[in-house]
Amino acid sequence: MKKIIPLLTCILLILPFFASPGFGAELSTEEVARRLQQSYEKMTTMSARFQQTTSVRMSPRVKKGSGTLIISKPGRMRWDYQEPAPQVLVSDGKTVTMYFKQSNQMTVTSAEEYLQSDVTYSFFTGKGNILRDFEVMAAPPDVPTEPGTYAIELVPRKPHPQVEKLRLWVDRDRFLITRLQVIDQFGSVTDLRFSDIKTGVAAPAGLFTFTPPPGTEIIRQ
C-alpha cells in the first residue's frame, strides 16, 4: 500500500486575521493573499484537525487520511495521522522525520533539504511570502464555492516538480484557510479540509521530537 506522506506540498498555513473587511465588502485576490500573509506573520502556534483525500487522474481510487496537526514557529510542526494507518511527521526546525507504523520505517532528512523540495514548507517555518512566491488569482468558475469563504488560486512563480497550483478557501470573517487543494503536473489532487482550528495553543518542545518503537528501520536521506 502506498504511504500517505503529508504534503507539506500539501499545506499552507491556517491563519487568523483579526479585522474583518466589513459586511458586504469584497476584496481583490491580492488583498486576500496580503491579509492572509499578515495573519500568518502574527501567528506563533496553532493546532487543527484535518481530513485528507488524494485522487489520481484516470484512476477511480481515492486515498483518504485524517488526523491532527500542531505548528510552532519557527520551523516546528507535527502531523499525526490516525487513519488509514498511524503515521507521524515531525520537524524540530533542523530535522524532518516521517514514521510509518505499517511498514515499521522512519525516514530522516534535514529540514533545509526538505524546504528545498517542498514549495509550501516555508509557510510553516516562517520563511514564506505568498505574494513573492506565487502568482495570485481568483479560482476558476468551475471550482466549487463554499459559503463564507474567498476561493483563490496560487501558481508558483518558479516551476516546481511537485506543485502546479494551489487552491485555497479562506474564511471571510476570521481569515482562516479552511480548505486547501494541491494539484501536481500529472493532475493528482490532494484535498485537505481543516476544522477545530486554534491559535495561541501550548506547544511544548517535546511535541516536536519522536522516538520510534524498537526495531524500526531508520532511513536517512
40-61 confidence digits (pLDDT tens): 778 899 999 999 999 988 788 8
pLDDT of residue 136: 95
- What's the angle, vertex CA 66, arms to CA 42 and CA 123, rounded to 5? 25
Q: Please report which confidence band the pLDDT of residue 219 belongs to, taking 50, 70 and 90 as the band edges.
A: very high
Please give the average per-residue pLDDT across 149-166, as a whole number: 90
Q: Please report which confidence band the pLDDT of residue 16 belongs to, taking 50, 70 and 90 as the band edges.
A: very low
Longest dimension (CA), the chain: 58
User: What CATH number does the domain located at 29-75+111-197 have?
Assistant: 2.50.20.10
pLDDT digits (tens, 9 = 90+) for 80-108: 999 999 999 999 989 999 999 999 999 99
Q: Whose grid coordinates read 500500500?
A: 1
Q: Whose grid coordinates read 517542498?
A: 118
pLDDT higher for 64 or 39? 64
Please give the average per-residue pLDDT across 11-31, as a whole number: 53
pLDDT of residue 120: 63
pLDDT of residue 160: 82
Q: Please report which confidence band the pLDDT of residue 13 belongs to, taking 50, 70 and 90 as the band edges.
A: very low
Q: Please report which confidence band the pLDDT of residue 20 belongs to, taking 50, 70 and 90 as the band edges.
A: very low
The secondary structure of residue 132, as a DSSP letter, is: H
